[in-house]
Amino acid sequence: MSEYKSVFSPIPGIIYLKSSPKEEICVKEGEKVKAGDIIALVEIMKNFYEVKAEKDGTIESFKVENEDIVEVGQEIAVIRVES
C-alpha cells in the first residue's frame, strides 16, 4: 500500500526545480528520492533555500513549474512513499 507525502514551500519566493539555478532539473516525476535529497530551491532576495524530501519514495507529481512564484506553505510536490 502506498502513502503520499506532500512537500510544501517553507518560504515565499521563486521556485527552482534544480539543485542550483544554473543546473538541470534535479529530480523528475517518477524518479526515486531519499530523505534529505534536494528536490527544489526557493529564492528570496538573492538567497536560496533548499527544499528536501522528508521521506524515501518516488516523486508522484510536481504541483509547480520551474521558476513559478510560490507562497509559504504552498504544495510543491507529492512523494509516493512505499510501505
CATH number, position 19: 2.40.50.100
The number of distinct structural domains making up the chain is 1
Q: 5 with 54: CB under 8 angstroms?
A: yes
Q: For position 29, what pLDDT does the model report?
A: 93
Tens of pLDDT along 17-60?
Answer: 976 767 788 789 999 999 999 999 999 999 999 999 999 999 99
CA 55 remoteness from chain centre: 12
Q: For position 18, what pLDDT does the model report?
A: 77
Tell me which residue range forms the domain holding 33: 2-82
Q: 25 with 66: CB under 8 angstroms?
A: yes
Q: For position 8, what pLDDT does the model report?
A: 96
pTM of the model: 0.86
Mean pLDDT score, 54-75: 95
